[in-house]
Structure 1
């Protein structure tokens, strides 16, 4: 009688903000030794996570590109948006679970940290009880951003608030006004709304925009000096000014 193979492990591996030498030793080892590698990307694009590991994958690695069926084409408030993404994550989960059932380990490449605003979370919740999953934490994009600004983000008892620019303008304004230190992610086409919210909160002069943190294109600019729209990899910062010796 043939003994069934133990299930393979699905690793959600945090790659950090974008530089290979900011990956953890564990992440580097898993990426280089992976037989199966999965990653998210927009249709027609190579995918940022995949770009980070260029030159690192084993020549025989089998790649599985998970292409989003929708990004900005449908408003997130439209029921079709959730329906299409739900089906997409379900299909991706089935593929990974099948590999695991066949005894194959899989490395899922994750920008930043897998548990911080990452798509991997939607796979993780669906894989619970289906396949063994292990998560490798990574340096977040916001850590890369405030390091790029060369200014500490918090001092003393400063309260740090992390927002997404997809929120409503009134909610953004209130939270920006009420916090000591601030990080805003997912800016892109929401820059105009975010700029108005920062101004309404009276904090324009303290705001910085960091684009492509820890990447070759990195740029740090005062929000007041930014024109046009922000790229996808842009983070707004307001540094805390709390107690210090």
Structure 2
């Protein structure tokens, strides 16, 4: 009986030692795992914070472009373009011509135009202008002609001229020889040579639109408006 109890006690002691050894090893392994990851198995707070930082960084990258608040500025090329158009207007006017038109004032008669383009869309007598005006809408042109069928004025409504401002005209051509405001328009004029003058028509400047763009312009041959038979000295502008 003593021997059985003694043997049982020895086995119990050995089992206890093994159990304690195993428990101690597991405890050490758990602590090593926690120290390596910085988290307990159920704590993912560090992962959430890292994800948040990445999202904030991406958001900052997308919304902080260095050029996002830069306002657009008028290109110097646009200013040069207006000047080029005006210089071209002046050069053509020396020959009685306007832009995109092969028919000059003084040396053309209305029959020449009709042979090339057909009848005008409309034809109106304008007493104040001293002649009849034939309009060719498709070509953005109108021609004033006298009783002898001579073209004395060519008017251009070409789209390319409509980006030229009033201030730019005065800058390039200087102070106008003629400047009137009538019926909501401002008309300025320049002497080209002994034969021709230029008339440029703008909406009348206002506080909301102090520097309007060109509406249309014409090259005038004043001598073509003279009517000696009626003792009419004709137009100057």
TM-score (norm 2): 0.22
Structure (1/2) with the larger helix percentage: 2
Greater relative CO (CA pairs within 8 A, separation 6+): 1
Larger radius of gyration: 2
